[in-house]
């Protein structure tokens, strides 16, 4: 696939303003399991991406452990096969929920390819 989107299951901490029940349903001890699942999904998505593919990773979480840390661990594990092109964290406000999105590009011989996105 030219572009693969991982909208990973997460703690939903970015949705607290609209869904305060997240405080009841999410327990911090669940985080390691959630992060393992997110990491596995990101690896699987990467294997489905084309040679010059783009990988998008997104959560509705504001926790670094589910966002930047998952992406960095993936990049470290992939040993230069993927490169972070852009990442944004959005904090919840009156109009929007909080979320994170990262765009990863496959790297080839130290050069990053772009698919026109």
* Size of the chain in residues: 117
Residues 45 and 22: their CA atoms lie apart, in Å, by 27
Q: Which of 60, 63, 102, 104 is catalytic?
A: 60
Any catalytic annotation for residue 60?
Answer: yes
32, 62, 38, 12: CA torsion to nearest 10 = 90
Q: Which residues pair with 110 in a beta bridge?
A: none
Sign for the pseudo-dihedral over CA of 24, 26, 27, 28: negative
Pairing of strands 54-59, 99-108: antiparallel
**Which helix (H) or strand (E) covers residue 41, if one does?**
helix 31-48
Q: Which residues are the active-site residues?
A: 60
């Amino acid at each position: 696939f030219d572009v693969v989107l991982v909208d990973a299951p997460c703690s939903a901490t970015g949705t607290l303003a609209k869904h305060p029940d997240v405080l009841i349903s999410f327990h911090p001890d669940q985080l390691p399991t959630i992060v393992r699942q997110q990491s596995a999904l990101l690896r699987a998505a990467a294997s489905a991406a084309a040679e010059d593919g783009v990988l998008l990773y997104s959560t509705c979480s504001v926790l670094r452990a589910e966002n930047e840390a998952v992406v960095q661990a993936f990049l470290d594990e992939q040993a230069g096969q993927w490169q972070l092109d852009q990442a944004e964290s959005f904090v919840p406000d009156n109009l929007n929920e909080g979320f994170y999105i990262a765009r990863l590009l496959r790297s080839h011989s130290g050069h990053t390819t772009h698919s026109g996105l």
